[in-house]
Structure 1
Amino acid sequence: MPNDNYSVRPATGADHATVERLWLMFRHDMSEFQGGLPHPDGTFRSERLHSAFHDAGWAPYLIMSGDHPAGLAFVRGLDGPVRVLNSFFVVRGARRSGIGLRAIKDIVARHPGSWEIAFQDANSGAVAFWRRVATEIAGDDWTEERRPVPNLPDEPPDVWISFKTLA
């Protein structure tokens, strides 16, 4: 899919339904790596979706390909010393087109400073993607570490990439 008609923008209240639908796709994809089934009504946990639109220090982004939604990103920690890419998703039809890398670069450029991004080792596509992102943005000046998942001691640790950008 060509991505020359690509854009990323802050999601507004008017985008909530679109982002919510993308969120369901994202949570479905993540269930392969994190387990978990939908709630009886077919939805997945959505506290991050709520926080992205309503909590201080959070920002939701909508990734577009022309007039079509192609993904989402939630950033938290904008009111603190470290920005965290809390959630990131690109629909399967837009993957491997460069749109994800472009979106991350755009979002990080909007919020210079220290960044952290978590992913799971079991998601081999994410492992390669996030290491490439870190290298594209920070060169060799990034770190990777494994951290326990809070309140889930039996889960494999998350992998966290950290880097810093300048204004």
Structure 2
Amino acid sequence: MTSSTAAVDVRPATPADRPTVERLWLMFRHDLSEFRDGGQLPNPDGTFRSERVGAAFDDGDGDWVPYLFVSGEHPVGFAFVRAVGAPTRVLNSFFVVRGARRGGVGLRAVREVVARHPGAWEVAFQDGNPGAVAFWRRVGEELAPGEWGEERRPVPERADLPPDVWISFRYGKAVEV
């Protein structure tokens, strides 16, 4: 799967996809658990906090859109977009399984997701996650060459955590309303 020719289908996730996305979410949170000070352990039942999954699938306002990435018959990742109707969309969560990384799947998936919602975008990640740092800076440069920005922002209500890194960029042409 690490071939740069690996195909990926990016599509809005349906309610029927939710169990698949929930399992991918566990992998995502497991990957992220090492990048917070002191690590983050699972809940007593082996899960991780998952309110974003609920928000993405249960949003009655249409402000969130979940996406599923599939290669052949294999799920390889997901993305949650929030603030779809706002002037700046937020790529709230983005994940590609390890077996599909380093072959262009992530870049193709993020390009397709943001192309579906043209305009201004923001993405947060942690400085302590070197893979994310390299990936998101590459995304900024690939999607908005020389016209993307980066800043550090405190994590709301968590002064004990290092600030998140946010990149911002514009992609495609936003429709003026």
Question: TM > 0.5 between the two?
Answer: yes
Equivalent residue for 1:13, pick from 7, 15, 24: 15
Question: For 1:30-49, what aligned pairs fall within 5 Å after superposition?
Answer: 30-34=32-36, 35-49=39-53
SS of 2:89 mapped into structure 1: strand
- Give the letter for the 2:10 counterpart: V
Question: For 1:115-130, what aligned pairs fall within 5 Å after superposition?
Answer: 115-130=121-136
Q: Is the 8 A contact 2:6 2:105 kept in 1?
A: no
* Distance in 1 separating the partners of 2:104 and 2:161: 31
Question: For 1:30-109, what aligned pairs fall within 5 Å after superposition?
Answer: 30-34=32-36, 35-55=39-59, 56=61, 57-109=63-115
Structure 1 stretches of 4+ with a deviation exceeding 6 A read none
SS of 1:16 mapped into structure 2: helix
Q: Give CA deviations for 1:21-58 in whole Å, capped at 9, x if unaligned.
A: 00000000010112321111111001000001111300
* Distance in 1 separating the partners of 2:21 and 2:87: 27
Shift of 1:164: 1.0
Residue 150 of structure 1 aligns with which residue?
156
Q: Give CA deviations for 1:102-144 in whole Å, capped at 9, x if unaligned.
A: 0000001000011000000000111010000011100100100
| Percent of aligned pairs sharing the same letter | 67
Equivalent residue for 2:31, pick from 29, 32, 41: 29
Kindly tell me the number of residue pairs found equivalent between the two proteins: 167
Using structure 1 for the length normalisation, give the TM-score.
Answer: 0.97
* Distance in 2 separating the partners of 1:164 and 1:8: 20
Q: Which runs of 5+ in 2 are unaligned?
A: none
Q: Which runs of 5+ in 1 are unaligned?
A: none
